[in-house]
Amino acid sequence: MKTFINGLSLVLPTALVLYVLVWILKTTENFFGNLILLVVPKEYYVVGLGFIAGIAIVFFVGLLLKLWIVQKIRDFFEALVDKTPLINTLYGAIKDFFNFFSNLKSKENDTVVLVDLPALDAKIMGIVTSKDLKRFKFLDMEEPVVVYFQMSYQVGGYSLFIPKKNITFVDMKTEEALGFIMTAGISSSKKDKEEQA
């Protein structure tokens, strides 16, 4: 039984990663492939052109965003989106999500914290996502910060307003902390064993 579990621990994560990669490849290929077929005859189309076109377009858009005029167009578009109910919430959430994860490696060290749980005589690890809370002056708290608590093996989490005096900053990279939390500490245990070997 242990041999089966060991095999499953390798096969299952690998299969899930491959499934997600294949889904991304197929979706990109189908979307951009159909656009290419509008201008290129079917007999000249080669499988993979859609994916290559998708990568090229994303890269090209990234280059264009360095231009002042394109930044102004983006700002105008985002201003319109901000005035549109529901769409502004969805667009803002997706944008913030990607910005957060794209900046993980450049995050400073003072974002990972431990928060006191006096009732349990315990601490919980979280990520400080906001320190500038001028909009929330009405909170009856001394120097409040927003701390995000990721749930282990879950997509969601919780964001709580917490007084700065109740948190302890940890010298740990945000990316490392999220990995630790999402795997319930298993990733850290595995790393420690590898270092001891």
* pTM > 0.85: yes or no: no
Instruction: Write down the domain spans for the chain.
Output: 2-102, 112-196
pLDDT tens, N- to C-terminus, the chain (197 residues):
667 777 776 777 788 878 888 888 888 888 888 888 888 888 888 888 888 888 888 888 888 888 888 888 888 888 887 888 877 777 777 777 666 666 555 555 568 899 888 888 888 898 888 777 777 777 777 888 888 888 877 767 888 888 888 888 888 887 788 788 888 777 665 555 555 55
What are the CA-CA distances from residue 30 to residues 20, 41, 47, 75, 168 (Å)?
15, 16, 10, 30, 49
